């Protein structure tokens, strides 16, 4: 069981009550026990008798000489003392039983009251936690009410609202920067691409001009792909995701269909095996995740007569997509490094890429509460499997 602050406060309040109640019961018992000893009772009776006689003007004579032991009066006294001791013990036992019963009932009531009181005290913290858990890029404008008392929780609310204001400002600035950078960078890239296309489409371009134009076009495509990947990472890092119902099977079919001409040109056979896999996610991010898996499988599929296999299915409340390919042999210990940004393994120079494909897959899976696994193929290549939670209404049906 998870030990919460409420449980700790309840235990602290209950322990404090138990200690105080224990001291009270012990003190009362000892007080009654000391007040009912034969000596104390004899002294009290003697004092009360003297006070009563003094009020009547009678003075008691000196105490008589004790009678020798063994006489009848001595036996009667012993019986009376025994009866008095038994009565005293019965009174103390009854007092102890009643005190313990009252102590147990009070302890139960005290624990219940401590639990309720701890909940009341921690309610503002629960409200702040709930507000923090519901935060997203669309709810940064929400604020906690500040009309309560000016205490520690009131100051915490104001500090939390101030943090939300700063986050909203920073988030808006970052979004504006991403949009402005995308717009400003795409324009010169489009100009460079158009210039390269003009050179390549001219009737008689020189060999040097053609080579330069082809190189420019290649680098422009690389820069455009890199910018798209960085913006996708920024979208995922900022958790800018509009969750909508979608099916991984439909997304995989579209991605594979778009990649089929490229696979045909590369001589790579595609095997598509899909079944219903309904999930709740950001369509843009999920499509980019599958596109990166397929693109990565094609990019590093350098074997002759290679193949690419894409499977989609669902089971046990999870939706799965698995992409496997042929390619260079990989060591299992080298696979985690492939999910680091700008890492491309041992094929950095042989294969064009910017090392953001698999990191984007991992990041998108993470923001969708997914799990990603990867392992080397028996004959080379890589297999990557991503599992996401199945949509709740699909589970209900």
Whether pLDDT at 10 is above 90 = no
371-376 and 382-389 beta bridge pairing: antiparallel
> How much is the mean pLDDT over the chain?
78
Is residue 249 scored above 80 in pLDDT? Answer: yes
The more confident residue out of 36 and 285 is 285
For the chain, percent of residues with pLDDT exceeding 70: 75
Q: Which two tokens stand for residue 144?
A: 């906690």
Q: Identify the structural domains of the chain with CATH numbers, from first to last.
A: 5-57+81-133 (no CATH), 172-235 (1.10.287), 242-396 (3.30.565.10)
pLDDT at 52: 64
Q: Write down the pLDDT at residue 350.
A: 46
What average pLDDT does range 49-59 have in this prediction?
64
Taking only the tens place, the pLDDT of each residue in 143-193 is 877 777 777 778 888 888 888 888 878 877 776 776 677 667 777 878 888
Instruction: Please provide residue 138's backbone torsions phi and psi, each rounded to the nearest 5 degrees.
Output: -95, -5
Please work out, in degrees rounded to the nearest 5, the angle formed at the alpha carbon of residue 189 by the alpha carbons of 205 and 216.
35
Pick 265 or 223 by higher pLDDT: 265
Q: Which residue has the higher pLDDT, 135 or 157?
A: 157
| Rounded alpha-carbon distances, angstroms, from residue 90 to 44, 95, 96, 365 | 20, 8, 10, 74
Q: Which of 91, 82, 84, 93 is nearest to 45 (CA)?
A: 84
Lowest mean pLDDT among 222-226, 238-242, 323-327: 238-242
pLDDT (tens digit, 9 = 90+) per residue, 253-292? Answer: 999 999 999 999 888 999 999 999 999 888 888 888 999 8
Instruction: List the single range of 176-190, 209-223, 241-255 with lowest mean pLDDT.
Output: 176-190
Q: Which of 26-30, 209-213, 320-324 has the highest mean pLDDT?
A: 320-324
Interval 105-124 mean pLDDT = 84
| Mean pLDDT value of segment 117-130 | 80
| Predicted confidence (pLDDT) per residue in 386-397, tens digit | 999 998 765 555
Kindly state the average pLDDT of the residues 298-311.
85
Query: b or e along 65-93 (b: 16 or more beta carbons within 10 Å of the residue's beta carbon)?
Result: eeeeeeeeeeeeeeeeeeeeeeebeeeee
pLDDT in tens, 92-112: 788 788 888 888 888 888 888
Cα–Cα distance, 326 to 305 (Å, whole number): 9
Distances (CA, A) of 253 to 78, 241, 361: 105, 22, 18
**Residue 46 burial (CB count, 10 A):** 12
Tell me the C-alpha distance between 201 and 185, whole Å: 24
* Residues with Cβ within 8 Å of residue 126, at least 6 apart in sequence: none
pLDDT score for 35: 67
Cα separation, 67 vs 256, whole angstroms:
119
Beta strands, E only, the chain: 244-247, 269-274, 278-281, 307-315, 318-325, 371-376, 382-389
């Amino acid at each position: 069981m998870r030990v919460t602050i409420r449980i700790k406060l309840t235990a602290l309040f209950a322990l404090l009550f138990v200690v105080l109640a224990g001291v009270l019961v012990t003190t009362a018992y000892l007080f009654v026990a000391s007040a009912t000893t034969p000596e104390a009772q004899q002294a009290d009776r003697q004092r009360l008798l003297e006070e009563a006689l003094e009020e009547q003007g009678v003075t008691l004579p000196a105490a008589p000489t004790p009678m020798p032991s063994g006489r009848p009066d001595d036996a009667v006294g012993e019986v009376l003392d025994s009866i008095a001791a038994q009565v005293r013990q019965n009174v103390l036992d009854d007092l102890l039983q009643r005190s313990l019963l009252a102590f147990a009932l009070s302890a139960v009531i005290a624990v219940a009251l401590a639990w309720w009181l701890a909940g009341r005290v921690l309610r503002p913290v629960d409200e702040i936690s709930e507000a923090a858990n519901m935060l997203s890029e669309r709810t940064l404008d929400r604020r906690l009410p500040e009309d309560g008392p000016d205490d520690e929780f009131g100051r915490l609310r104001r500090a939390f609202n101030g943090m939300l204001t700063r986050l909203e400002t920073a988030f808006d600035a970052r979004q504006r920067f991403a949009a402005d950078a995308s717009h400003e960078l795409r324009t010169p890239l489009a100009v460079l691409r158009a210039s390269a296309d003009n050179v390549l489409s001219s009737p008689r371009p020189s060999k040097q001009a053609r080579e330069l134009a082809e190189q420019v076009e290649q680098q422009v495509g690389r820069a455009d792909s890199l910018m798209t990947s960085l913006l996708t990472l920024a979208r995922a890092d900022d958790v800018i995701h509009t969750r909508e119902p979608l099916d991984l099977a439909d997304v995989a079919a579209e991605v594979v269909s778009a990649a089929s001409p490229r696979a045909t040109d590369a001589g790579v056979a595609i095997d598509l095996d899909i079944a219903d896999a309904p999930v709740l996610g950001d369509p843009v991010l999920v499509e980019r995740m599958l596109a990166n898996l397929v693109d990565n499988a094609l990019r590093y599929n350098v074997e002759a007569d290679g193949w690419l296999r894409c499977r989609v299915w669902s089971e046990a409340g999870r939706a799965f997509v698995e992409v496997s390919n042929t390619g260079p042999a990989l060591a299992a210990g080298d696979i985690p490094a492939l999910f680091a940004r700008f890492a491309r393994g041992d094929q950095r120079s042989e294969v064009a890429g910017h090392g953001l494909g698999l990191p984007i897959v991992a990041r998108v899976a993470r923001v969708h509460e997914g799990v990603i696994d990867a392992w080397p193929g028996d004959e080379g290549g890589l297999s990557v499997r991503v599992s996401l939670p199945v949509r709740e209404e699909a589970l209900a049906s």
